[in-house]
Amino acid sequence: MKITIQQLRIRLILPVVLIAVLAIFPLLGVPRSWFLYLFLFFIYLAMANMWNLLAGYSGLMCLCPAAFIGLGGYTIAIFTWLGLPYYLGIIGGAIVAAAFALLISVPVFRLRGIYFAIGTLVVPEALRIVFFLWKPVGGEMQGGGAGYMVKGIGGVSMAEVYWLALAIGIISIFLMRIILRSRLGLGLAAIRDNDRTAASSGVDVFKLKLYSFIIAAFVIGMAGAIFYIYQGYIEPASAFNVRWLMTIMLAAVIGGMSTEEGPIVGTIIVVFLHFLLSRYAGISLLIQGVILVGIMLLAPQGIMGFLRKTRAYRSLLQLATRR
């Protein structure tokens, strides 16, 4: 289907405008709490997109995003302690996470399906202990338990952090778009359908899964580093906590696993929920749990999956693309 320049222009206008609006948010004098939620939104979005890449498209039910997040966070903490600029720390965090993914892929990829899930469940726990014991930079403990201040972050303004989050969020969307339409995406679709058939058709299953895994680790690590710039403080129990997994998974599942737009929709809902339930911190997990169970039973394809089946959505889509 050939697209004319005209159509391209129209197609791009909406997203570009949207991004521009979001970008100038900080300069609009918007209340700080909004900021926080938008910031969280983009961070979670990046992570949810990557988790969706793994679980929804690569057949890798990865329960270890916290590992990458924590590693990204600690990397930036270490970099700033050493006096290096924070943007190097962000790249560093991404690279460390990706390298770690490469490292554990050797044992962990030999496991299929459920065994893989369990293996990935253990990894963040192990890392938590490692970082509890290892005090990488001269051990200035804050509040017990090997916590660190992310030094030198005072110099980074809220706006800059926000833009970083915005960037990684948008990048993750584009990344998904590109991957899914590339040869990698084609191979992944084959793998998700049936591992063995894909292998016998010449798809190098291991390599493709590895690529997905490393890409996801890279982006998640980066998002984690950016998060900890904002947070300014990191300690093992929360960095490697399984809560990360639950939030990300909730977002991807509600929105619709194995759909491109799913994580976007899901993350909006999850952040919105955080906002709504902030006053009821006591029962927020409960509600999230109920929603998770409910969605899986009633609309397991998530919102996007559900919408796709409705005629209204399909006609809307036709209208939008025909132009």
Per CB under 8 A, residues contacting another protein are 55, 61, 106-108, 110-111, 113-115, 117-119, 121-123, 125-126, 129-130, 132-133, 242, 246, 249, 253, 257, 282-286, 288-293, 296-297, 300
Q: Which H or E run contains 149? A: strand 148-149
- Give the nearer residue to another protein in terms of CB position, either 40 or 253: 253
Distance CA 216, CA 209 (A): 10
- Give the nearer residue to another protein in terms of CB position, either 210 or 229: 210
Q: Which H or E run contains 233? A: strand 233-234
Question: Taking the complex as a whole, how short is the minimal distance between the CB of residue 147 and another protein, in angstroms?
Answer: 16
- Give the nearer residue to another protein in terms of CB position, either 134 or 174: 134
- Contact (Cβ atoms closer than 8 angstroms) between residue 147 and residue 235: yes
Residue 163 structure tokens: 């833009």
Classified as helix, coil or strand, 148 is strand
- Give the nearer residue to another protein in terms of CB position, either 165 or 217: 217
Q: Residue written as tokens 């063995």? A: 196
Question: Taking the complex as a whole, how short is the minimal distance between the CB of residue 194 and another protein, in angstroms?
Answer: 12
Question: Taking the complex as a whole, how short is the minimal distance between the CB of residue 278 and another protein, in angstroms?
Answer: 15
Residue 26 structure tokens: 């900080």
Question: Taking the complex as a whole, how short is the minimal distance between the CB of residue 292 and another protein, in angstroms?
Answer: 3
Question: Taking the complex as a whole, how short is the minimal distance between the CB of residue 266 and another protein, in angstroms?
Answer: 13
Question: Taking the complex as a whole, how short is the minimal distance between the CB of residue 121 and another protein, in angstroms?
Answer: 6
Distance CA 219, CA 161 (A): 16
Which amino acid belongs to residue 142?
Answer: Q
Cα angle for residues 47, 49, 52 (degrees, 5° grid): 110
Q: How far, in Å, are 156, 185, 186, 250 from residue 262 at the CA level?
A: 32, 17, 19, 11
Question: Taking the complex as a whole, how short is the minimal distance between the CB of residue 313 and another protein, in angstroms?
Answer: 21
- Give the nearer residue to another protein in terms of CB position, either 90 or 295: 295
Structure-derived torsion over alpha carbons of residues 40, 91, 82, 234, reported in degrees to the nearest 10: 30
Per-residue DSSP letters for 242-285? HHHHHHHHHHHHHH-TT-SSHHHHHHHHHHHHHHHTTTTTTTHH
Residue 294 structure tokens: 């409910």
Question: Taking the complex as a whole, how short is the minimal distance between the CB of residue 218 and another protein, in angstroms?
Answer: 23
Task: Find all residues with CB under 8 Å of 229, minimum gap 6, and list them.
Answer: 76, 86, 89, 90, 150, 153, 156, 161, 164
- Give the nearer residue to another protein in terms of CB position, either 56 or 221: 56
- Give the nearer residue to another protein in terms of CB position, either 85 or 289: 289
- Give the nearer residue to another protein in terms of CB position, either 25 or 306: 306
Which residues make beta-bridge pairs with 148?
Answer: 234
